[in-house]
Every structure is written in C-alpha cells, then in structure tokens.
C-alpha cells in the first residue's frame, strides 16, 4: 500500500502579517511547505489521514476524550480561516473505529467533529482546501491535562496504521503540531472561574471573542521576540533531540518523556508532538518508512520551533 507521511509544525501566526525577526525564514518555510503540497498532489491520495490536536475550540473538559475519530467534521473559524465541512468517508471512519475497538483501544467517536486550525491549516496549506480530498480526521488530546502517554499514543497510531494497511489505497498521513512552543493557552487549574467555565462547558465563540483571544497570542509573540512576556521561548536543543530520534525511527525513545519535562523545557504547546508520533507509527505499520528532515528553524514571532519531516513507504 503506497503511503506518504508529512509531519509539520503549525502556528496560526503564520497566517498573519507579524514582522519577521530573521529575513527569509518565513519564505523558506513556505517554499518547503509548497514542495510538500506539490508532492502530495502528485501522489494523488485517495485518503488523507490527519492526526491533530485541538485548542479548546472543538473539545472541552465537559467530555474530553484522549482520542477521537470523526465520521463527519466541520472546520471552525478561528484565526479567520474559512469554515466548512471536510469530506469525510463515513464508512471508512466507522470501520476504523470498529477496528480499534477490536484491538482494545477505546477511541471515541464523533458524528459532528469540530476541527480548528490544528487540522485546517495543514489541509489548506498542503491540499489547498478543506474538502479537496477524502479526509479521516483523528483528534489526539494534547492540551487538556491529563493527556495520553507517549507509549499509548504509539499503540494508538500503530493500530490505526494496521487498519489502513488493509486498504488498497494511496494514503497520505499528516501529523500536525509541535515542536517546542509555549502559547498563552489557559490552564484549567490556573484559570479564573469565567475562563475555567469556558474550558469545561465550551461554546461557539463570537467573532469578537475569537479576535480578543487571537490578539492576546499576537501580543505574546511580539513580547517573546524582544525577550519579554510569560511564554517560554522555543528550545532548539529540545527540538533537535526530538527530531533526531524521530527521523531515525526511534519512536520508543519518547516513552520516557514526561509532561512535566515538556512543560518545563519545551513549553505547553510541545505536547502536540504526540500527533507526529502517532502519524509516524501509523505510517510504519503500513510499510517500511524512510523519513527525512526537510526544514527546521526557530521562528520566535510564530512562538514555535518550525519543522517539517516527510516520509514514504
């Protein structure tokens, strides 16, 4: 079964006009991403599988699964991204859920999944639209403590890959998230009552509320560039350590990584590397995977260590 793997950092700030701290870095990242998009279109996948996080836009503490597969999905309007439905093949999604349940993996099911920029940015940047290809959306909880362990994430990714290996299809697998970054995402235990209630109950925010949240992130990014603010800077050494093991296929190296270590060194957003690990395990299960680091650079105005890894089986 032909499989293509693309793991890429996303930052909603890459969709804005924040000033570049180092000339040419943004253009270089987008050139590489465009090459990945061209390779995807040439590959012409019959199914695109997206492992992605959520940023308290679609999943909330009222009912927070560790993993969820959507049989239908709708993009949200965060960061002024165009909303709309994804083209989800319902039967494949249901079959995948049943396969995972048969493997004793209790993945949740959504018949109306809400997906935010963690899913929509890679779809727009790599495929050109939310519904150009059949898409299987897979959520991994990366923002809401407690999170699944890395070992559990690997087990989950492999089980998804085992299911995909039964399909006689060209499949692109995307891991969307990471690397080191520390955005001003609210933490439940540190939030005032009104913010905590939003994290628990959830609601479709108004455009005014979205704009206020996003303006806070832009301010935090500008402060980070000049060495101020509450956000940890992205950590180049942590990123390189992760990428070295990742590209070498040593995914079990991450089993010993703790959330406390990630919070302390790489930042709250770095938990999203779980999506890369699951995507790589899925691709490995479908065939012999050869991975290659195509891009890495710290981009402080995007708050993030930006990386792209591709692979083919």
CATH numbers and ranges of domains, the chain? 3-312 (3.40.830.10)
In the Cβ-directed half-sphere of 136, how many Cα atoms lie within 13 Å? 27
Which of 26, 117, 271, 297 is labelled catalytic? 117
The reply to whether 181 belongs to the active site is yes
Phi-psi region at 269: left, alpha or beta (left = phi > 0; alpha = psi -120 to 50): alpha
205 neighbors 37 (Cβ within 8 angstroms): no
Ranges 2-11, 17-26, 194-203, most confident: 2-11
pLDDT score recorded for residue 158: 97
pTM score? 0.94
Q: Provide mean pLDDT across the span 257-276.
A: 96
The candidate with the shortest Cα–Cα distance to 51, out of 104, 6, 102, is 6
For the ranges 53-62, 86-95, 274-283, the lowest mean pLDDT is seen at 53-62
Is 41 noted as a catalytic residue in this protein? no
Q: pLDDT by residue (tens digit) across 216-248?
A: 888 888 888 888 878 889 999 999 999 999 999
Q: Which of 10, 26, 55, 181 is catalytic?
A: 181
Residue-wise pLDDT tens digits, 101-154: 999 999 999 999 999 999 999 999 999 999 999 999 999 999 999 999 999 999
């Amino acid at each position: 079964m032909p499989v293509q793997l693309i793991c890429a950092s996303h930052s909603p700030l890459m969709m804005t006009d924040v000033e570049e701290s180092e000339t040419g870095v943004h253009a270089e990242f987008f050139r590489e991403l465009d090459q990945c998009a061209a390779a995807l279109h040439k590959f012409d996948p019959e199914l695109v599988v997206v492992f992605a996080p959520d940023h308290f836009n679609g999943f909330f503490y009222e009912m927070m699964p560790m993993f969820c597969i959507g049989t239908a999905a709708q993009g949200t309007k965060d960061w002024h991204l165009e909303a709309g439905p994804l083209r989800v093949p319902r039967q494949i999604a249901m079959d995948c859920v049943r396969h995972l349940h048969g493997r004793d993996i209790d993945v949740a099911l959504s018949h109306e999944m809400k997906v935010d920029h963690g899913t929509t940015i890679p779809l727009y940047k790599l495929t050109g639209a939310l519904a150009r290809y059949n898409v299987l959306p897979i959520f991994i909880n990366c923002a809401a403590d407690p999170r699944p362990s890395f070992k559990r994430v690997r087990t989950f990714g492999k089980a998804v890959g085992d299911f995909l290996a039964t399909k006689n299809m060209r499949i692109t697998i995307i891991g969307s998230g990471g690397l080191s970054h520390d955005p001003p995402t609210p933490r439940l235990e540190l939030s005032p009552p009104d913010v905590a209630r939003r994290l628990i109950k959830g609601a479709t925010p108004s455009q005014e509320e979205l704009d206020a949240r996003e303006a806070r992130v832009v301010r935090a990014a500008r402060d980070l560039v000049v060495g101020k603010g509450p956000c940890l800077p992205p950590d180049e050494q942590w990123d390189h350590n992760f990428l070295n093991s990742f590209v070498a296929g040593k995914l079990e190296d991450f089993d010993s990584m703790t959330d406390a270590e990630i919070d302390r060194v790489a930042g709250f957003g770095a938990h999203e590397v779980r999506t890369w690990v699951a995507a790589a395990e899925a691709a490995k299960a479908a065939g012999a995977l050869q991975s290659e680091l195509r891009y890495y650079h710290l981009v402080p105005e995007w708050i993030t260590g930006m990386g792209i890894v591709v692979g083919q089986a």
